[in-house]
């Protein structure tokens, strides 16, 4: 068992379809290239896409973990994760979305605690809804990626979320502007965006990282950052994402209570 606790990173947004899942998966690929052991937790419980995107055989899901914990049947998190490769494991969302309603948020912290010393990085993909599950994940994270796009509704909602972070004294978050999503939307300049959200943009995923045939990679279960062709043709974008990945590892831990009690 690992002696050092994993870095817990949650990918969150205030609107659906901004690229949370793709970003989480791409970060997992980068960390695996750094020789890090990674767990991707899919907390988009109603419509999670991690297992589907990676073509993994998810016989058990996070629902089974929570159900077994509630009935004293839980032993090891290893019994519930599915393997993508030697470095990346996946704890998928429920196959039946009705089971999402049966997962109590109190088990999210326990699940993270059960995995915290088995991995170097835990990447949590979420829905865009501010619910007890997402809030628990955020509370137990060392860092949060707040994804945003050049969309007026998205920007206004992001401004509200940033205010919540500041009100709760959560400074361990980075705002990531995903310009590779909906590349035809150029409503606002960077100056405008900063004025709307009342916060700086920490990282930008450039338009140049737009992948026209991305569905092909999803169908094949490929991670873009592990694909040699993509790494060669999008070298500059991969380097920027790698810089972001490194910065997330350097953040001062916030979820100390979970790690201490794990």
Q: Residue ranges per domain, the chain?
A: 7-250
Inter-CA distances, 54 with 36, 78, 111, 242, Å: 18, 18, 22, 20
Residue with tokens 């793709």: 22
CB 146 within 8 A of CB 174: yes
Give the model confidence (pLDDT) of 42-83 as tens digits: 999 998 899 999 999 889 999 999 999 999 999 999 999 999
Residue 220 burial (C-beta neighbours within 10 Å; 0-12, 13-18, 19+): exposed
pTM of the model: 0.93
Q: Residue 228: what pLDDT?
A: 94
Tokens of 84: 């993508």
SS3 57: coil
Mean pLDDT score of the chain, rounded to an integer?
91
Pairing of strands 82-83, 88-91: antiparallel
- CB neighbourhood size of 22 (10 A): 25
CB 248 within 8 A of CB 34: no
Instruction: Report, in angstroms and rounded to the nearest whole number, the Rg of the chain calculated over CA atoms.
Output: 17
CB 5 within 8 A of CB 262: yes
Q: What is 7-250's CATH number?
A: 3.40.50.300
From first to last of the 262 residues of the chain, give the pLDDT tens digit: 556 899 999 999 999 889 999 999 999 999 999 999 999 999 999 988 999 999 998 899 999 999 999 999 999 999 999 999 999 999 999 999 899 999 999 999 999 999 999 999 999 999 998 899 999 999 999 999 999 999 999 999 999 999 999 888 888 999 999 999 776 677 788 999 999 999 999 999 999 999 888 889 999 999 999 999 999 999 999 999 999 999 999 866 554 444 444 4
Residues near 247 by beta carbon (within 8 Å), at least 6 away in sequence: 174
Distance, in Å, from the CA atom of 134 to the CA atom of 141, rounded to the nearest integer, reads 11
Give the model confidence (pLDDT) of 4-14 as tens digits: 899 999 999 99
């Amino acid at each position: 068992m690992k002696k050092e606790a994993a870095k817990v990173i949650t990918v969150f947004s205030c609107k659906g379809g901004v690229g949370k899942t793709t970003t989480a998966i791409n970060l997992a690929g980068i960390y695996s290239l750094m020789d890090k052991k990674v767990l991707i937790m899919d907390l988009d419980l109603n419509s999670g896409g991690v297992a589907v995107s990676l073509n993994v055989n998810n016989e058990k899901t996070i629902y089974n973990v929570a159900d077994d914990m509630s009935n004293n049947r839980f032993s090891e998190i290893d019994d519930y994760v599915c393997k993508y490769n030697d470095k990346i494991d996946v704890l998928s969302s429920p196959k039946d979305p009705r089971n999402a309603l049966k997962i109590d948020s109190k088990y999210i912290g326990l699940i993270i605690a059960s995995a915290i010393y088995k991995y170097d990085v835990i990447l949590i993909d979420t829905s865009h809804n501010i619910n007890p599950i997402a809030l628990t994940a955020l509370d137990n994270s060392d860092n949060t990626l707040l994804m945003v796009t050049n969309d007026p509704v998205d920007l206004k909602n992001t401004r509200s979320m940033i205010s919540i972070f500041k009100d709760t004294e959560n400074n361990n978050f980075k705002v990531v502007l995903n310009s590779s999503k909906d590349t035809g939307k150029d409503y606002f300049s960077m100056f405008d965006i900063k004025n709307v959200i009342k916060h700086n943009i920490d990282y930008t995923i450039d338009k140049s990282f737009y992948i026209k045939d991305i569905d092909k990679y999803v169908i094949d279960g490929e991670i873009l950052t592990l694909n040699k062709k993509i790494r060669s043709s999008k070298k500059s974008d991969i380097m920027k994402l790698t810089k972001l990945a490194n910065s997330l590892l350097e953040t001062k831990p916030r979820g100390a209570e979970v790690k201490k009690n794990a």
